[in-house]
C-alpha cells in the first residue's frame, strides 16, 4: 500500500516537473517573440520619423509633436496620409507650418452650430 502511494507521488512529481519545464520553454518562446515584435515596431517608428523629417519642416514637426499630446489619433492619421502621399510621389515640397495648419483644419470634423430657441 505504501509502495503504491509512493509510486503515485513519484509519477505526479514527474508530471509536475514536466509541466513546469514545458511552461518555462513556452514562456521563453513568448518572451523572444515579444522582443522581436517590439524591435520590429521600433524599426518601423524610426523609419516613420526619418520620413517625417523629410516631409515636414522643423516648425511643422514641432506642431505635430505638441498636438500628439492631446490628439494622438488625429496626428497618427495625418502622418499616415502624409507618408502615403510622399511614397506615391504626390508631395513635391516640404510641408511647412501654415500648410500643416490647413491640413489639420480640413481633417477636423465640422462642428454643428447649436442654438437654443425659447418658445
Q: Shortest CA distance to 100 belongs to which of 68, 70, 69, 56?
A: 56
**Residues 7-29, mean pLDDT to the nearest whole number:** 88
Q: CB of 56 within 8 A of CB of 64?
A: yes
- The model's pLDDT over 53-81, given as tens digits with 9 standing for 90+, comes to 999 999 999 999 999 999 999 999 999 99
How far, CA to CA in Å, does 54 sit from each of 5, 86, 93, 104, 117? 73, 9, 9, 19, 51
**Residues 35-51, mean pLDDT to the nearest whole number:** 92
Domain map of the chain by residue range?
1-43, 56-88
Q: CB of 104 within 8 A of CB of 71?
A: no
Q: Shortest CA distance to 64 belongs to which of 100, 99, 88, 32?
A: 100
The residue whose grid cell reads 509541466 is 19
Interhelix angle for 58-68 vs 97-107, to 10°? 40
- Band of the pLDDT at 107, cuts 50, 70, 90? confident
Which pLDDT belongs to residue 37?
A: 93
Whether 5 has a pLDDT exceeding 90, the answer reads no
Amino acid at each position: 500500500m505504501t509502495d503504491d502511494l509512493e509510486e503515485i507521488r513519484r509519477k505526479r512529481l514527474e508530471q509536475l516537473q514536466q509541466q513546469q519545464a514545458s511552461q518555462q520553454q513556452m514562456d521563453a518562446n513568448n518572451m523572444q517573440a515579444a522582443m522581436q515584435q517590439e524591435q520590429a515596431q521600433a524599426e518601423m517608428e524610426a523609419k516613420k520619423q526619418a520620413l517625417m523629417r523629410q516631409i515636414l519642416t522643423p516648425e511643422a514637426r514641432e506642431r505635430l509633436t505638441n498636438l500628439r499630446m492631446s490628439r494622438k489619433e488625429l496626428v497618427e492619421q495625418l502622418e499616415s496620409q502624409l507618408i502615403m502621399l510622399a511614397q506615391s510621389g504626390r508631395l513635391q515640397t516640404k510641408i511647412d507650418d501654415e500648410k500643416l495648419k490647413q491640413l489639420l483644419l480640413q481633417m477636423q470634423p465640422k462642428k454643428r452650430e447649436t442654438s437654443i430657441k425659447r418658445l
